[in-house]
Each structure stands twice: as C-alpha cells, then as structure tokens.
Amino acid sequence: MKPLRVLCALWLGLLMSVRAAEAPRPNIIFIMVDDMGWRELGCYGNTFNETPHLDQMAKAGMKFTQAYAAAPVCSPTRAALMTGQWPARLRITDYLGPQEKEKFLKPGTPVLSQLLKTQGYVSGLVGKWHLTGDYTLNRGEPQKHGWDEVICSETTYIGPGYYFPPYKHMPEEKVLPGKEYLTDRLNHEAVEFIKRNQRKPFFLYLSHYAPHTRLVGKPELVEKYRQKPGAGTERNNPQLAAMMETIDQGVGGIVRTLKELKLEENTLIIFTSDNGGEATRGQGKGITSVEPLRGGKSQLYEGGIRVSLLAHWPKGIRAGSECAVPVSTLDFFPTLLELTGGKVPDAKLQDGVSLAGLLRGEAKLTRQTLYWHYPLAQPHFLGGRSAGAIREGDFKLVEFYDTKEVEMYDLSKDISEQHNLAPAQPEKAAELKRKLMAWRESVNAEMIAPLPPTEAKGKKAAE
C-alpha cells in the first residue's frame, strides 16, 4: 500500500501544480490618488467623508494599517512604484517641478508597464504621470515607458491642477456630455479601457490628480457636505469630501463594470495614495487633518508618509482581512511581477519585497527595515525639512540634515510621535542612525547642499 500512497501523493501534487499553472493570472487595477490623508476613508475611521465603495472594498478584501509611501511627496513615490527601487537609488527624491531639467525617470529603466507587457498584459495609464520635469525637453514622457495606452496624462507641468475644461495641463481630446469634471473623466476612461481589453489580461494604472490642492469639488457635492453637521473644520472639509466622493464613485463604477463582464473574481484592485495629506498651509493650517498622526505632506513624520492601502481580489484575498505589517509603495513592483509570472530584471537593483504572501494571509516578510531619504536645498513650503528616516520594528528615527538632530519614537506606543526617545536611549538612536547612514551609502544617495538665500527665494517664487 505504501508505494500506492506515494504514487497518489505524487499524482495529486502534479495535478495541483498543473492547475496552478493553468489558473488565469489576475487582471490588475492600481488606483493611486494624490495627497490623500491616512484617515480620509470611512474604513479608516472618517465619519464625515462618504466613501461607501472603498469601505466595501475593505470589507471584501484586505486593509493595511501600516502602509507607507516611499516618499513624502509625489514624484519619488511614483518612481518607486514603477521600478521597485528606493527613490534615493533613482536620484528622484523630490517632486519634479517645471524647472527640473536633469531628473526624470529615464527611458530604458525597467518599469512595470514594460515588464507586464512581456507577460502578455496590455497596459494603460489613465491620468497623472509626474515623472518628468521640463516637458519642453520632450523626454521621459510615459509613452516612452512601454504603455500601450496613455489617456488624459499631463503634457505640461500640472501645477495647481484644473478640474473643469478647458484643461491647461493636458489636451482635452474630447469631453463627456454635460459639464465634465476631471475625476469623472478619468473614471470614465478607466471603465472604457477595461471594456476594450476584457478578453486579455490587463494592467490599468488609474492615477488621479485629485484631491491634490487646489481643492475643487463638484459644486452640488460641495454644497451637500456644507450642510452636514460639523462642516468647515480641517477634519470636515466640504471641498475635500466632495472630491473623495467622486473618487469613490469611480471605484464603484469600476467594480460594477468588472461584475458585468464577469471579471471581478480574478481582478486585483489596489487603492492607495502617493503620500500623506496636506496638513499645514498658510498660518499653520492645512486642508485636512491627519490626526492622530503628526505632520503631513513633505514631512517624514507619520502624517507625511503613512497612507491608506486596500487590496481586493476575491480569488486571491480572504474577505475582511487586515494586515499590520509595515509595507511600502516599492513593494508592488515585485508583488505584481510574482502574481503575473514575471521576473525581477536585476535583483541587485530591486529594493521592494513581494507582498504576495501577505495577500494570501501569511503575516511575515523577510524585510525588517524601511528607509526614506528626502534631501532639500531649502525647506518645503508645507513645512518639510531636509531629512532621512528609518523604521526598524516599532522604532523609527528621523535625522534632520539641516541641524544634524535626531528624533526617535516607538510607534507601537506613540503613533503621534510626541515622545522623543533619543535623549533617553542614545545607544539605540546611534544604532539606527548608523544603519541609516550605511543604507544611504549602499544606494549612493545624493546629499543636497542648502541654496544661498537669494537662490532659495527665486526657487520658491517659481513654485
């Protein structure tokens, strides 16, 4: 009987392997919003904004409670998503303004759109790219990175954004019936992309310009939220709430389309933000509140880098899952390649780790440490300072390059980063600082000298 059992076991293993190989690879929809605070969604505790479709996505999938953007501002996070590399390694560590002529995502850099294409996926970018600075140089635009379709992506510097036609940052090409709104347009184009490509595996990157300032919601929705109790505070911003509802409606439309086309079961939808919310502007006030976190966009405190992250995939993720493992934007590069059968082109230049196991419910990662590098020639106008950070376990250290000061926090006990432990635990702080310095050296991180006051003033004016 023993040989028979062995034979049966071998046959069963072979059958499972064949079935796994024959199982259809998931379609991928990656939705990235701009400057959304960690707690703007109902499923993260917001009681003013109405985001029912995203809340349902959390119930039916996985919610991450310790997800991080790879940087506290836009461009470096998006570069990390596309390449799986630390922004410091790419030398893209700040947002790419219109004056930036040297730093952009170089064509030829292995990116998700190209690598998934080799796996038979059709790829589409709908919306924001922001991995080019000076568009007049006609280099680095998304078409040079292997996208099959590029729709409603900026052709000039996006600046403050324009939410109603005539758009000043992209060609109109066409408009929807009635009074078009930019977020609605992107949601519509995303659905149309899915319909066009329903018979083949697809990778859709829906990259919203919203809710990045300036805040411009649809008037009827803004008025709706102005009438709600408690409206008018940073926590309850009617303009922001209106923009979040329109983003949420788009998610609902995408899910409905997938159901109609019988694609929902094997489509992985990921929703996140490129950095934290804009919590300081003007007289110390912002457009949102990131409480209980400290700081906001442009800062390496939790408010600037901790983000919402949802993953929905009925065939691959258990409903109602929650993951407290610290993860980063750059982890999606190896994750999506693993799930689609692709390979990382150069392991030596790969900094992310696959989250495929976490999505399956395995609560461990081989990586224990996350890093950030945000060197600035002058302070960001939202309050960010030239700094680096490391998180290892529950401890997080922030090193300010301008003053050489360090701050250390135990995030398991102090998520608001109010109690600096560096003076009381100098040996632990010194250990983390050494590791941060060693990491910077390993990725050949660029340090930026402060600008002279006159040049800094001119740069601020240009922004």
Summarised one tens digit per residue, pLDDT across range 226-247 is: 999 989 877 899 999 999 999 9
What is the average per-residue pLDDT within 409-415? 98
Q: Is residue 316 part of a domain?
A: yes
- The larger pLDDT score, comparing residue 329 to residue 10, is at 329
379 shares its domain with 408: yes
User: DSSP code of 26?
Assistant: P
What is the average per-residue pLDDT within 255-273? 98
Provide the sign of the torsion angle of the four alpha carbons 210, 212, 214, 215, taken in this order.
positive
Contact 239, 216 (CB under 8 A): yes
- In the predicted model, is pLDDT for residue 459 greater than 60? no
Q: Which of 363, 383, 409 is the last residue of a domain?
A: 363
pLDDT at 8: 41
Catalytic residue, chosen from 8, 43, 53, 130, is 130
Q: Quote the pTM value.
A: 0.92
Q: Is residue 275 part of a domain?
A: yes
**Which of 69-83, 87-101, 282-296 is predicted least confidently?**
282-296
Q: Which domain holds residue 450?
A: 370-462
Dist CA 124 CA 64 (whole Å): 26
359 shares its domain with 380: no
Domain count across the chain: 2
Q: Is residue 163 part of a domain?
A: yes
pLDDT at 4: 44
**DSSP SS3 for 369:** strand
282 shares its domain with 401: no
Contact 276, 304 (CB under 8 A): yes
Say which CATH number the domain at 169 has. 3.40.720.10
396 shares its domain with 250: no
- Tracing tokens 């028979």 back to the chain, one arrives at 4
291 shares its domain with 380: no
142 shares its domain with 228: yes
pLDDT at 288: 86
Say which CATH number the domain at 405 has. 3.30.1120.10
Catalytic residue, chosen from 74, 312, 323, 373, is 74
Residue 312: closest CA among 46, 30, 52, 57: 57
What is the average per-residue pLDDT within 131-144? 83
Q: Is residue 14 part of a domain?
A: no
Residue 271: closest CA among 32, 71, 434: 32
Dist CA 21 CA 227 (whole Å): 54
Contact 309, 338 (CB under 8 A): no
What's the whole-number average pLDDT of the chain?
89
Q: Is residue 19 part of a domain?
A: no
117 shares its domain with 160: yes
Examine residue 91 and say whether the peptide bond preceding it is cis (omega within 30 degrees of 0). no
- The larger pLDDT score, comparing residue 246 to residue 175, is at 246
Summarised one tens digit per residue, pLDDT across range 324-363 is: 999 999 999 999 999 999 988 888 889 999 999 999 998 7
Q: Is residue 6 part of a domain?
A: no
Q: Is residue 123 part of a domain?
A: yes
pLDDT at 19: 35
328 shares its domain with 283: yes
323 shares its domain with 382: no
pLDDT at 281: 64
The number of angstroms, rounded, from the C-alpha of 329 to the middle of its chain's C-alpha atoms is: 6
The verdict on whether 323 is a catalytic residue reads: no
404 shares its domain with 266: no
Q: Is residue 5 part of a domain?
A: no
CA angle 321–255–62, rounded 5-degree value: 10
237 shares its domain with 276: yes
- In the predicted model, is pLDDT for residue 394 greater than 70? yes
Structure tokens at 327: 């993860």
Q: Which of 363, 386, 414 is the last residue of a domain?
A: 363
The verdict on whether 169 is a catalytic residue reads: no
Q: Looking at 89-148, which runs of residues are DSSP E strands?
A: 122-127
Structure tokens at 374: 């945000």
Q: Which of 363, 384, 406 is the last residue of a domain?
A: 363
The phi and psi torsions of 278 (rounded to 5 degrees) equal -85, 100
205 shares its domain with 240: yes
